[in-house]
Structure formats: C-alpha cells, structure tokens
Structure 1
Amino acid sequence: MVSWARFGCLVLVTMATLSLARPSFNLVEDTTLEPEEPPTKYQISQPEVYVAAPGESLELRCLLRDAATISWTKDGVHLGPNNRTVLIGEYLQIKGATPRDSGLYACTAARPVDSEAVYFMVNVTDAISSGDDEDDTDGSEDFVSENSNNKRAPYWTNTEKMEKRLHAVPAANTVKFRCPAGGNPAPTMRWLKNGKEFKQEHRIGGYKVRNQHWSLIMESVVPSDKGNYTCVVENEYGSINHTYHLDVVGECASPRGAAVRHPVIALRSTHKIRIESARECHADYGIGRRAS
C-alpha cells in the first residue's frame, strides 16, 4: 500500500514539473500595418486645341520640366515615327495632315514618383468657319440619278466624305455632317442624337438640313452639342445609317471679357481622359484657332 502511495506521489510531482517547464504561448494579433505606397501623382494640363486643314503640316511642342525621355500617344495609343510623323526632341511634327490625324495627343515624362503630361486636341477638318452660310459650294449635288425601272435599297454614294467619324472642334465653330446616299425610289434622311430623334427645339439656335447634299449643319457649337449623331437613310426597300461623334473642346471668352472657367481634365483609374466643361459657351462667344 505504501508503494502505491509513493508511486502516485511520484506521478503528481512529475506532472507538476512538466507543467512548470512547458513554455506558455500567448497569441498576440499583429496590428502593424505595412506602409502604403504613395499613389502615383499625375499632373494634368488643359489640352491645347489645334485646328488644321487637310494637307497642312502640324507641329506640337512638349514643354515639360526635367524631361529626359518623352513619349507620345494619340487617343491612348503609343506613337512612333513614320513617313508622315517625325519626333525630334520635344517636337512632334505631322506632315500633310488628314482627318484621320484628329484626336487627343499627349506627351508624357515619367518620373519615379509622378508622371507629368501635356495634352493637345488636334482637329483636321475642312468644315466651314463659324458664321459662313455658304456650305457645300463645290458646285455639285450628291443626288444620283437612278433608272426608274431599277428599284434599289439605299446605299452610300461617297464614303470618302464619311471616313472621319470623330469630330473634335473648338466651341463657337460650325460643324457639318454628311451622309451622301442614293437609292430608288429616292430615299429620305432623318437625324438622331444619342439614339433619339433630333428635333430643332433640342438645340438653341436649331440646325440646318441640306437635303440636296445629305448634310446636317450646326452653327456656333457649345459643349451641350457633344454626342453621337446618326443619319438614317431609308426607302421602302431598306434602311442604312451612319454615326458621327462630336466633341466640343476649348475655352470661351464672355462678351464682357471675363474668362469662363476652363474645361476640367479628370484622370480616371483606368487612365482614360474625360473632358468636362464647367460652363456652357454662348452662341456669340469667340474662340481663337490655336493656330496662334
């Protein structure tokens, strides 16, 4: 009996010794936060507006501080030299400009902590100037005579006049969209803005339609004119349509000489550029062609 008592005592002493020797573990939540990397800073400048006629040469100058390396983009796509585009230092030169050269150009200088960019809105167009009512003076009409016996659904007769879908123009200018078409019987034409019927009362000052030239003309455009314009040409045998996109850019000067706020350039996380106009330009406001 004594031996069993000694054994039990030995077991208790051994367990107590092991309990004292076991290290204690306390779970402590680590609340230390990794320092966040500072977001890349983008310094956004108001775009300079350049207007040129087809065939003219353009020169854009990129004035950036401490820019060892400059990269150029057009509508977000990298630009490199080719037979018409020349990159020399801080200059981008375009020889023999065409409507396809229109768009938003940017030169960027990347640095370790920020990225500075300069933007240029280029518009190559032969659109009539503001206040000129002598549109379509080429002396010809776009109607095509059809054999009365040959019935035909509408079709485009001059697609070259429809190649330029994006029109970026300074405020207060005149814009003309054309959809030359043919068909038998002679098709009719109507216009939509952003997919809805475009009525005269939808725009201050209305607009002009030249049916003999299949054209829509808007004078003294303002930022609210921005949108998609679709011509719908149809007869009893079919219907075709074509859409243009209009963007109104630039600044306005009030009749009293007080400056109107510049457009605001906002950089989204997707690195796409959005141009918002803080205020509307009145029809009698003027804008200079950055063509100095």
Structure 2
Amino acid sequence: MVSWGRFLCLVVVTMATLALARPSFNLVEDTTLEPEEPPTKYQISQPEVYVAAPGESLELRCPLRDATMISWTKDGVHLGPNNRTVLIGEYLQVKGATPRDSGLYACTAARPVDSEAVYFMVNVTDAISSGDDEDDTEGSEDFVSENNNKRAPYWTNTEKMEKRLHAVPAANTVKFRCPAGGNPTPTMRWLKNGKEFKQEHRIGGYKVRNQHWSLIMESVVPSDKGNYTCVVENEYGSINHTYHLDVVVSHVLR
C-alpha cells in the first residue's frame, strides 16, 4: 500500500519531468526589411519658346530618346490626335494654328527609374508677345473715333484677348491687354483674384499703360500666379475680362 508521502513525491517528480520535456517557444521578431525601390527621378527642362502666326502649322519635336513612350500635354491636359493635331513618333504638329493653341506644351517619357519632361512655350499671335517688354507701335488702332452718341464700354480688338492662359518662365515680363472704347472714354482698373490690385501688392510693382489698355509686370515670380481681371467702365456701363497667369519654375527633383 502506497503511503501519502510517497504518492505526493511521485506526483511532484512526474510534473517536473513533463515540464522539462515540454519544448520551449521563443517568439523572434522578423526584422528583415524589404529592399526599398529607388525613388523616381523627375527631370524638368527650361521651356523652349516658339512663336507662330495664326494659320501657320506648328511643329514641335520632342528630343527624348525613347520616342515610343512619349506622351504630350498642353497646359497640363493630355493631347490626342484629332483633325488638327497629328502625333507621329517624336513630333507634334498642329495645323492652322490659332491663338487658342498658345500655351505650355510638354512631352514626357516614363522610364523604370526616372521620368523626363521637355517643355515648350508656344505663343500664336500676330501682335507683340505677352512675354516681351516692348513699346507698342500699333496703339493708334485701339483708339476708336466716337461721335456725339454716348456709348457704354466695348472691346475694340477681341483677337488680342483670346489667349486667357499665360504660362511663362520665371523672370520674364508679362503683358495683359484689354483694348476698349466707349463714350465718354472709359477708365480701366485691375483686380488680382477678385480683389483690387495695388502697386504695393507686388514686389517691384507694375506698369499700367492706359493709352494701350495694358498691364505690365516685369521679372515675374511664383507669387505672381493668379487671375488678373481688367475692369473697363464709364457712366453708361462696365465690362471685364480675366487672364490667368502661371509662372513656370525650372528645377530638377532627385
């Protein structure tokens, strides 16, 4: 007959043996890191400036090597072929250019480790470029002889106002024109983003040439981006027109 003392001793020894025989599990945190993919590099070029007269064919050539992967945009919007736009290899051709074809064009080639873009600043106009700081020699055409009939303001040369979006490289000069007439002769004032545009609102100020109905800003910087509205008015009425300015800064991101 087994005594209680021997029984308890047997139980203790058995439990200790099971504890020693039980395998131990150690949780090891997996610190293996996935290899990081190299960051994509974006190479952005200084825009090339192209000037064309209305009616001419505009042809841009993209100098990127991989022509099979080239895509084109205008003012940030993808371009596809249509009855006026032809895309062949590295060439973009626009037939019968109009002022509406003015803007910032870009060709882009995507590669496994980088993406390169080449920009073209296109201005289709038969007048002085908005990026030039030259005196007008054609101002007399904007003066319309009025008879004794009173008249509210009206635009005298809407062709000069068709190009609403102006995308120009930094440090260039920008000129906005709102040629108008009326009787009595209207006055002109300018707004930026819907608010009165004062000289102190811009470093270096700006020029207003009332005889040519124009606003001129020299050496533009990114802070000049925005909507510029000319308000032309007399006692018989008021008209307005808005331009959008985008300042392009050339840089390389790595």
TM-score, scaled to structure 1: 0.63
Task: Judge which range, 72-81 or 136-145, deviates more.
Answer: 136-145
Greater shift in the superposed pair: 130-139 or 12-21: 130-139
Q: Using the alignment, how far apart are the partners of 1:169 and 1:91 within structure 2?
A: 22
RMSD (CA atoms): 5.0
Deviation string, structure 1 residues 200-221 (Cα, Å, up to 9, x no partner): 7989998764546643356898
Bigger drift between 192-201 and 26-35 goes to 192-201
* 1:214–1:18 distance in 2 versus 1, CA, 3 Å: same
Structure 1 window deviating more from structure 2 (34-43 vs 132-141): it is 132-141
Secondary structure of the 1:190 match is strand
Q: Match of 2:12, SS?
A: helix
The verdict on how the C-alpha distance between 1:273 and 1:184 changes in structure 2, with shifts beyond 3 A counting, is farther
Aligned length: 253
Q: Is the 8 A contact 2:61 2:90 kept in 1?
A: yes
Shift of 1:135: 7.3
Shift in CA distance, 217/16, structure 1 to aligned 2, threshold 3 Å: closer
1:84, 1:95 within 8 Å by CA — same for their partners in 2?
yes
Distance 1:153 1:29, change over 3 A: farther
Q: Counterparts of 1:60 and 1:169 in 2: how far apart (Å)?
A: 18
CA deviations on 1:167-186 (whole Å, 9 max, x unpaired) are: 24589987542335577876
The alpha-carbon distance between structure 1 residues 90 and 132, as it changes in their structure 2 partners (threshold 3 A), is closer
CA displacement at 1:61 relative to structure 2? 0.8
Residue 87 of structure 2: aligned partner:
87
Q: For 1:198 and 1:178, locate their aligned partners in 2 and report how far apart those are by CA, in whole Å.
A: 15
TM-score by length of structure 2 reads: 0.70
Kindly state the Cα deviation for residue 86 of structure 1 after the two structures are TM-superposed: 1.0
CA spacing shift, 1:204–1:114, aligned 2, 3 Å: closer
CA contact (8 A) 2:192 2:227 kept: yes
Unaligned 5+ residue runs, structure 1? 250-269, 275-292
Judge conservation of contact 1:127–1:176 (CA < 8 Å) in 2.
Answer: no
Aligned partners of 1:49 and 1:170 also within 8 Å: no
Q: Is the 8 A contact 1:97 1:124 kept in 2?
A: yes
Deviation readout 1:111-155 (Å, 9 max, x if unpaired): 2233233221212233326999997777976689999x9999867
Looking at structure 2, the residues matched to 45 and 173 of structure 1 have their Cα atoms a distance apart, in angstroms, of 16
Deviates more, 1:185-194 or 1:35-44: 185-194
**Equivalent-residue separation in structure 1 for 2:93 and 2:20 (angstroms):** 83
Distance 1:158 1:127 in 2: 11
Q: Which runs of 5+ in 2 are unaligned?
A: none
Question: Any conservation in 1 of the 2:208–2:215 contact (CA below 8 Å)?
Answer: yes
| Residues 103, 167 of structure 2: 8 Å contact kept | yes
**CA 1:217/1:32 → structure 2, altered by over 3 Å: closer, same or farther?**
closer
CA contact (8 A) 2:123 2:129 kept: no
Distance 2:139 2:63 in 1: 45
Return closer, same or farther for 1:201/1:186 CA change in 2, 3 Å cut-off.
same
Farther off after superposition, 164-173 or 151-160 = 151-160
Aligned-residue offset at 1:78: 1.6
In structure 2, distance between residues paired with 1:273 and 1:100: 31
Quote the sequence identity (%).
Answer: 95
* CA apart distance, 1:159: 5.3
Rate the CA distance shift 1:22–1:51 in 2: closer, same or farther, 3 A: same
User: CA contact under 8 A between 2:44 and 2:251: conserved in structure 1?
Assistant: no
Deviates more, 1:219-228 or 1:49-58: 219-228
Distance 1:67 1:181, change over 3 A: closer
Query: How far 1:232 moved relative to its partner?
Result: 2.6
Aligned to 1:179: 178
